[in-house]
């Protein structure tokens, strides 16, 4: 039910396809982020139209509002969002460690304040796993201890080791939930044998895979050790690289990827968490990454900034006032095939909500098309050459 | 190029179809309002999906931002908005008289302050006509003097008489623009005969019709007189009833419609301006009205309020928290066929922009379906009976 096939490799860049319960995902792949169970301004119909194959949702956000039990009562996360393709939920680790205000970490888990009502809440590896099980995404992530980009080695080691211990607890809990669902050992403890299995899906998803997260900051030795520990815990269907794009220099992120890549089993899809600028996607694919997520395309879109092959365009700029050209003449999205830059600028000047949506739509489509171009370039056999030409065009051009 | 055919009449209620340069409009008809060249939160694709046949845009708003010349440079209002079906522009009269702050009316026109930059601007019957010609909608409206609902008869008479004098000036200017466009008399004054006609559409729309507006407040004698004056000015393709739904009691609006209706030529479509609550649409169709516009469905939608056959629903209400039912089980829109009330409530609780759009979409679809039901009920021959049953269900039910 979970499978990853690599169809072509060029250098360390790979193209392939990942089979998940709700469908196939072609890699390299960009996942739009639906923080609160919706990719901001976009409907599932829009997401299908731009070719999204998998969407990420945030466990922390859905836990505090509306609560995983509400989502379950409304049929699980797929039904809730109206999205029938694959979903991935993060574990809440990143959010909890990014929150302003109170936070206390101990070996058991993290106590924090909800950003919605200020109430004290607690997440542990077991709770994060249970919440994700209840939400029912295709891929769940292990609960991790994330540290900022510039921390010292001792702090990074402490968080990496804790993440590693937490991984064992996540994996154990995930297995218990899966056993209960399928009538395995844990099932007998809380359901009388004469009671028929309830209909529907009250015990969580039929199939869900749990992926571990590599931490260790920008310290190569820690990253290497994190990989070893993860691979020692069990067999996985995928593996994530966390704790990057959190304030460290870009060169440091690229070096870390180069350090980690040779140690990752080729058969596992590799997911670089929270990375989504075009230049980072290209650089990371060159270094063997398969999956990405980032709020950048929608956040920047709402801010009036659009990705194009020639670099970013700020549509609020006065020079677009009477520009009848599309935002990106190479793009096939609704925004670029329907509207002029002049109209899009007007929507932003007039603070019309449609503008936020149209630029978000384009930016997501841009990254999905970029991933598709990379797939083709890898298959064609000279990905490094393609990447160099792409980067030259994207970064050398002046901002519009 | 402009034609109105009445296919069925029941009492004073009429069903028919209006031919306009950009397509047919079936009446009774609700026009969504695209104030600033966009129906707030909805794309042209959404509007087609909910069956909108004609959209209204606001001359005042487009004049102050981005300016009609910008719209013209970007291909005219249809191309600008990405909407290829009929468009109607109001004249700016209503907006200018609704503005807070400075305003001075004299016989020539109105001086007012732009809400965007505070600059003093001036609209006259000629300017309002020219701006609408430049925008290029299928239907342009005459520039009128609108007064609040409760004004005394002398004030209402003054505004009605001025509107009537302004109508002659609008009609004259509109004819001059049309003559110039088609090479008529006015054309020779500003284009040398040896200079070829420019390509494209630099002189305005090929075809546009100008509709007059009946004013006169809630004074039957003034309304009657306004109709007589309008019919004396010329032959029209349609006629609007303005200055209602501006603070007067509903009974007063209905009485005014009953007073005016017998005096209106049957062959002209009648447009009741600014009216759009479901109960008002039904009551007005019963009194012979064919066309409506109102911001209510989108404004209420952004506020979390939805129309349903059983009355309005406030989706933010806590009781919808785990409600798996659709907003309106009788509705065929994307919102009602895709999402639960629980999810829609979550979107509003989490302040997600998608919620504003989904409720706006439903509300517009609701009014367009309501108009369709009215067409069928008129054709079936017992519109009064249908209206009574509809009203009983819509108004007697408790608010959800």
Q: Cβ distance B135 to B77 under 8 Å? A: yes
Please check the confidence at residue B192 and state whether its pLDDT lies above 50: no
Whether the upstream peptide bond of residue B66 has omega within 30° of 0, thus cis, is yes
CA nearest neighbour of A386 among A311, A313, A283:
A283
Q: Cβ distance B50 to B30 under 8 Å? A: no
Residue pairs between chains A and B whose CB atoms are closer than 8 Å: 122
Report the phi/psi class of residue B82: left, alpha or beta, with left for phi > 0 and alpha for psi in -120 to 50. left
The residue-averaged pLDDT of B212-240 equals 97
CB contact under 8 A, B66 and A358: no
Q: Cβ distance B291 to B28 under 8 Å? A: yes
Task: Name the least confident of B10-19, B96-105, B147-156, B291-300.
Answer: B96-105
Please give the pLDDT value at position B1: 75
Please check the confidence at residue B400 and state whether its pLDDT lies above 70: no
CA nearest neighbour of B307 among B372, B224, B367, B220:
B367
pLDDT band at B337 (very low <50, low <70, confident <90, very high): very high
**What's chain A's length in residues?**
400
CB contact under 8 A, B70 and A354: no
CB contact under 8 A, A340 and B40: no
Please give the pLDDT value at position B149: 85
The beta-carbon neighbor of A75 closest among B66, B80, B324 is B324
Please give the pLDDT value at position A203: 53
CA A83, CA A99: separation in Å to the nearest integer?
28
A89 strand-pairing partners: A57, A140
Give the distance from residue A92's alpha carbon to the nearest chain B alpha carbon, in angstroms.
17
pTM as predicted = 0.94
pLDDT band at B203 (very low <50, low <70, confident <90, very high): low
The beta-carbon neighbor of A343 closest among B40, B80, B352 is B80
Contacts of B319 (CB under 8 A, 6+ apart): B400
- The enclosing H or E element of B345 equals helix B341-349
Contact list, B44 vs chain A (CB under 8 Å): 338
Please state whether beta strands B55-57 and B87-89 pair in parallel, antiparallel, or not at all (unpaired).
Answer: parallel
- Residue A84 touches partner B, C-beta closer than 8 Å: no
- What DSSP state is assigned to residue B41? T
CB contact under 8 A, B342 and A74: yes
Contact list, B79 vs chain A (CB under 8 Å): 340
CA A198, CA A72: separation in Å to the nearest integer?
15
Residues 333-352 (B) with a CB less than 8 A from some CB of A: 334, 338-340, 342-343, 345-347, 349-350, 352
The 3-state DSSP class for residue B13 equals strand
Low-confidence ranges of chain A (pLDDT < 50): 186-202
- The enclosing H or E element of B78 equals helix B76-81
Contact list, A82 vs chain B (CB under 8 Å): 338-339, 343
Give the distance from residue A207's alpha carbon to the nearest chain B alpha carbon, in angstroms.
23
Please give the pLDDT value at position A399: 61
CA B364, CA B379: separation in Å to the nearest integer?
23
Give the distance from residue B5's alpha carbon to the nearest chain A alpha carbon, in angstroms.
33
The most distant pair of C-alpha atoms in chain A lies apart, rounded to whole Å, by: 73
- Residue B49 touches partner A, C-beta closer than 8 Å: no
CA A61, CA A163: separation in Å to the nearest integer?
21
| 3-state secondary structure labels for all residues of chain A | CCEEEEEEEECCEEEEEEEECCEEEEECEEEEEECCCCCCCCCHHHHHHCCCCCEEECHHHHHHCCCHHHHHHCCHHHHHHCCCCCEEECCCHHHHHHCCCCEEECCCCEEEECCCCCCEEEECHHHHHHHHHHHCCCEEECCCCCCCCCCCHHHHHHHHHHHHHHHHHHHHHHHHHHHHHCCCCCHHHHCCCCCCCCCCCCCCCCCCEEECEECCCCCHHHHHHHHHHHHHHCCCCCEEECCCCCCCCHHHHHHHHHHHHHHCCCCCCEEECCCCCHHHHHHHHHCCCCEEEECHHHHHHHCCEEEECCEEEECCCHHHCCCCCCCCCCCCCHHHHHCCHHHHHHHHHCCCHHHHHHHHHHHHHHHHHHHHHHHHHHHHCCHHHHHHHHHHHHHHCCCC
A352: closest chain B residue by CA: B40
CA nearest neighbour of B159 among B213, B235, B87, B208:
B213
Mutation target to probe the B interface, by most B beta carbons within 10 A, among A353, A357, A361 is A353
Q: Cβ distance B60 to B68 under 8 Å? A: no
Please give the pLDDT value at position A192: 38
pLDDT band at B31 (very low <50, low <70, confident <90, very high): very high
CA A375 to chain centre: 19
CA A211, A215, A219, A224 dihedral sign is negative
B27 strand-pairing partners: B16
Mutation target to probe the A interface, by most A beta carbons within 10 A, among B84, B346, B355, B359 is B346
CB atoms within 10 A of CB A95: 20
pLDDT band at B206 (very low <50, low <70, confident <90, very high): low
Please state whether beta strands A139-141 and A209-211 pair in parallel, antiparallel, or not at all (unpaired).
Answer: parallel
- What DSSP state is assigned to residue B319? G
Contact list, B342 vs chain A (CB under 8 Å): 66, 70, 73-74, 80
Contact list, A322 vs chain B (CB under 8 Å): 70, 73-74
In tens, the pLDDT along A137-151 reads: 999 999 999 998 889
In tens, the pLDDT along A284-299 reads: 999 999 999 999 999 9
CB atoms within 10 A of CB B301: 27
> Dihedral (C-alpha) A370, A376, A378, A382: value to the nearest 10 degrees?
-100
CB contact under 8 A, B343 and A36: no
Please check the confidence at residue B368 and state whether its pLDDT lies above 70: yes
Give the distance from residue A75's alpha carbon to the nearest chain B alpha carbon, in angstroms.
8
Mutation target to probe the A interface, by most A beta carbons within 10 A, among B38, B44, B302, B348 is B38
Q: How far is residue B225 from each of residues A121, A286, B164, B216, measured CA to CA in Å?
A: 71, 78, 10, 8
Q: Kindly report the backbone phi and psi dihedral angles of residue A311, in degrees, each rounded to the nearest multiple of 5, phi listed first.
A: 105, -175
- Residue A368 touches partner B, C-beta closer than 8 Å: no
A68: closest chain B residue by CA: B322
Please give the pLDDT value at position B99: 82
Please check the confidence at residue B186 and state whether its pLDDT lies above 90: no
Mutation target to probe the A interface, by most A beta carbons within 10 A, among B43, B48, B295, B325 is B43
- Residue A83 touches partner B, C-beta closer than 8 Å: no
Contact list, B36 vs chain A (CB under 8 Å): 346, 350, 352
CB contact under 8 A, A343 and B37: yes
Contact list, A66 vs chain B (CB under 8 Å): 321, 342, 345-346, 349-350
Active site residues of B: 90, 293
Please state whether beta strands A103-105 and B270-272 pair in parallel, antiparallel, or not at all (unpaired).
Answer: unpaired
Q: Cβ distance A70 to A131 under 8 Å? A: no
CA atoms within 13 A on the CB side of B65: 19
Q: Cβ distance A372 to A330 under 8 Å? A: no
Please give the pLDDT value at position B396: 81
In tens, the pLDDT along A193-234 reads: 343 333 344 456 768 999 999 999 999 999 999 999 999 999
Give me the percent of chain A exceeding a pLDDT of 70: 93
CA A197, CA A398: separation in Å to the nearest integer?
63
The beta-carbon neighbor of B353 closest among A41, A44, A73 is A41
> DSSP states of B27-40 as a string?
ESEEEPEETTSS-T
Please state whether beta strands A13-20 and A23-27 pair in parallel, antiparallel, or not at all (unpaired).
Answer: antiparallel
Query: Angle, to 10 degrees, between the axis of helix A220-233 and the axis of helix A153-181?
Result: 20
The residue-averaged pLDDT of B55-79 equals 97
Q: How far apart are the first and last CA of chain B?
A: 46
A345: closest chain B residue by CA: B66
CB contact under 8 A, B36 and A352: yes
Q: Cβ distance B119 to B63 under 8 Å? A: no
Please give the pLDDT value at position A276: 87
B338: closest chain A residue by CA: A82
B121 strand-pairing partners: B112
Give the distance from residue A17's alpha carbon to the nearest chain B alpha carbon, in angstroms.
28
The residue-averaged pLDDT of B63-67 equals 97
> DSSP states of B219-282 as a string?
-HHHHHHHHHHHHHH---S-EEE-S-SSSS-HHHHHHHHHHHGGGS-TTS-EEETT---HHHHH
Strands lying side by side in the sheet with A103-105: A103-105, A110-113, A120-123
Mutation target to probe the B interface, by most B beta carbons within 10 A, among A57, A343, A358 is A343
Please check the confidence at residue B100 and state whether its pLDDT lies above 90: no
A36: closest chain B residue by CA: B350
CB contact under 8 A, B334 and A81: no
Which residue is associated with the tokens 């956000």? A61
Please give the pLDDT value at position B398: 62
């Amino acid at each position: 039910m979970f499978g990853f096939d690599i169809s072509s490799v060029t250098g360390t860049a790979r193209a392939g396809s990942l089979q998940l319960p709700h469908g196939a995902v072609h890699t390299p792949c960009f996942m739009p982020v639906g923080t609160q169970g919706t990719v901001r301004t976009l409907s599932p119909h829009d997401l299908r139209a731009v070719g999204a194959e998998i969407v990420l949702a945030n466990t922390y956000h859905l836990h505090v509002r509306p609560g995983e039990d509400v989502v379950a009562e409304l049929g699980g996360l797929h039904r809730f969002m109206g999205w029938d393709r694959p979903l991935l939920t993060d574990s809440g680790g990143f959010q909890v460690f990014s929150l302003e205000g109170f936070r206390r970490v101990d070996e058991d888990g993290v106590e924090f304040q909800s950003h919605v009502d200020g109430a004290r809440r607690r997440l542990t590896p077991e709770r994060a796993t249970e919440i994700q099980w209840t939400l029912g995404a295709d891929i769940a992530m292990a609960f991790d201890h994330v540290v900022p980009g510039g921390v010292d080695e001792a702090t990074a080691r402490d968080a990496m080791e804790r993440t590693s211990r937490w991984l064992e607890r996540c994996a154990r809990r995930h297995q218990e939930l899966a056993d209960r669902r399928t009538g395995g050992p844990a099932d007998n403890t809380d359901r009388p044998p004469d009671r028929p299995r309830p209909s529907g899906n009250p015990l969580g998803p039929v199939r869900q895979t749990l992926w571990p997260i590599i931490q260790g900051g920008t310290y190569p030795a820690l990253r290497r050790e994190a990989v070893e520990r993860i691979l020692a815990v069990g067999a996985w269907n995928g593996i994530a690289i966390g704790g990057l794009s959190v304030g460290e220099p870009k060169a440091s992120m690229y070096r870390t990827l180069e350090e980690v890549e040779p140690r990752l089993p080729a058969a596992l899809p590799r997911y670089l968490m929270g990375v989504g600028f075009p230049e980072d996607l290209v650089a990371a694919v060159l270094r063997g990454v398969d999956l990405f997520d980032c709020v950048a395309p929608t956040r920047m879109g709402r801010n009036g900034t659009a990705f194009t092959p020639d670099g970013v365009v700020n549509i609020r700029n006065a020079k677009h006032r009477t520009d009848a050209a599309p935002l990106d003449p190479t793009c096939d999205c609704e925004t670029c095939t329907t509207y002029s830059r002049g109209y899009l600028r007007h929507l932003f000047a007039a603070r019309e909500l449609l503008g936020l949506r149209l630029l978000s739509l384009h930016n997501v489509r841009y990254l999905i098309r970029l991933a598709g171009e990379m797939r083709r370039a890898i298959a064609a056999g000279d990905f490094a050459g393609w990447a160099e030409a792409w980067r030259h065009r994207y970064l050398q051009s002046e901002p519009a």
